[in-house]
Amino acid sequence: MKARLVLVLTLLVASLTIALPVTAADDSIAGTWEGTLSTPQGDLRIVFKIQAADEGLTATLDSPDQGASGIPVDQVSFEDGKVKLGIAAIGDGGFEGTLADDGMTLDGNWSQSGMSMPLQLTRKAADEATEEATSSPAVSDSTSDPASDPASEPTGFLAEFLAIDEIYGGKMIDLAKAIPEDKYSWRPAEGVRSISEAIMHAVSTNFFAVQALGVALPEGLPDDYEGVTDKDRAVELLEQSFATIRQASLTMAALDLSQPANLGGRQTTIRGAILGHVEHHGEHLGQLIAYARSVGVTPPWSQ
C-alpha cells in the first residue's frame, strides 16, 4: 500500500449519506467512476460508485491505493449535466464535474480544505466493476485508521513534523501528569495564564489547527477550553488533541505544501503554517517547564 494520502483518515469520520430526489435523468449518472488524482507525492486512484434508487441518489468512495472502500459520500446531486459529490469531513470538499455528451466521462475538480486539483472520472463498464469487486481483497477494520497501518505512515517533511510534534506533545503530557492538581491554579502573576490555562491553551490551538484543515472535531469538546481546571480532564484533552493533530496531518499528504496559507493573519504557505504550529508548541512547552519548576516539579525526563 502506498504511504501517501489524503482521504482515508478524514473521510472515515463521515457517517451520513444524504439522498436527493431522483428524476429520470439521474439514472444516467449511476455507475462506477474511476479517476487518478495527481498529487505532489504521486498518483492516487479514486473510485466513486453512484447508485440511483427510489429514495434518491447515494454514493460511496473507494481509495484502492489506501486499501479502503465503501466510504460514504455526504451529498450526491446531478442536475443539468453537472454532478456534485460532497464530503463535509474534508472541509466541504469532494468532486464537482460535468458529464460529457457521450456519458462516459466526468471532467471537473477535486477540492479539499480550500485546495483544488483537476480530476477526470471515467465510467467503468459493468463487467469491469464486477470483476474488480470479486477480485479485490476485503478491507479489514484496521484500515479504517491509517495511523494504525505502518504502510500509510507519512514521509518527508510531514514525517519530520510529526516526529518533532510527538516529542513536544509527549513532554507536555508528561508535565501535565506530573504537576499536582492543587498547583493547576498557580499563576506567576495576576493576568498571566495559570498552569491549567496554559495546558488548555495548547489544547485549543491543536483543535483549532485540526478544524482549519477541514477535519471534523471529536465530540464532547468544551465550549470554554481555558475554563477546564480538573487535572484528569485537562490531561485527557491534551492527549486527545495531539492524537487528533497526528490524524489530521495525514490529510495534508496530497496537498502542495507551498500553496498560500494564513497563519494568525499573516500570509505564509502551508509548510510555513506547519512550522509556525511547531514553534508554538515549543514556546508553550518551555512555558510549562518554567511553571513546573516554579511549583517544585522536576520534568520527568530530567530526573
Q: Which CATH number fits domain 7-139: 3.30.70.20, 1.20.1070.10, 3.30.70.940, 2.40.128.120?
A: 2.40.128.120
The 10s digit of each residue's pLDDT in 59-93 is 888 877 655 567 778 889 999 899 999 876 555 67
State the pLDDT confidence band at 12, using cuts at 50, 70 and 90.
Answer: very low
User: Is 1.20.120.450 the CATH classification of the domain at 154-302?
Assistant: yes
The 3-state DSSP composition of the chain as helix, strand, coil percent (nearest 5) reads 45, 25, 30
By the 8 A CB rule, do 195 and 186 touch? yes
Q: Bridge-partner residues for 46, per DSSP?
A: 35
Within the chain, which residue ranges are assigned CATH 1.20.120.450? Answer: 154-302
Within the chain, which residue ranges are assigned CATH 2.40.128.120? Answer: 7-139
The pLDDT value given to residue 111:
81
Distance (Å, rounded) from C-alpha 143 to C-alpha 12?
10
Cell reading at 27: 439514472
pTM: 0.53
By the 8 A CB rule, do 142 and 149 touch? yes
Supply the mean pLDDT for the chain: 77
- Helix axis angle for 270-294 and 195-212, nearest 10°, is 170
The 10s digit of each residue's pLDDT in 228-260 is 999 999 999 999 999 888 877 776 666 677 777
H/E element, 118? strand 115-124
Torsions phi, psi for 128 (to 5 deg): -65, -45
Other beta carbons within 10 angstroms of residue 33's beta carbon come to 25
Flag whether pLDDT at 271 surpasses 70.
Answer: yes
Least confident residue range of 119-133, 198-212, 282-296: 119-133
The pLDDT value given to residue 128:
59
Flag whether pLDDT at 135 surpasses 70.
Answer: no
Instruction: Return the closest-CA partner of residue 68 out of 10, 140, 174.
Output: 140
Flag whether pLDDT at 171 surpasses 90.
Answer: yes
State the pLDDT confidence band at 170, using cuts at 50, 70 and 90.
Answer: very high
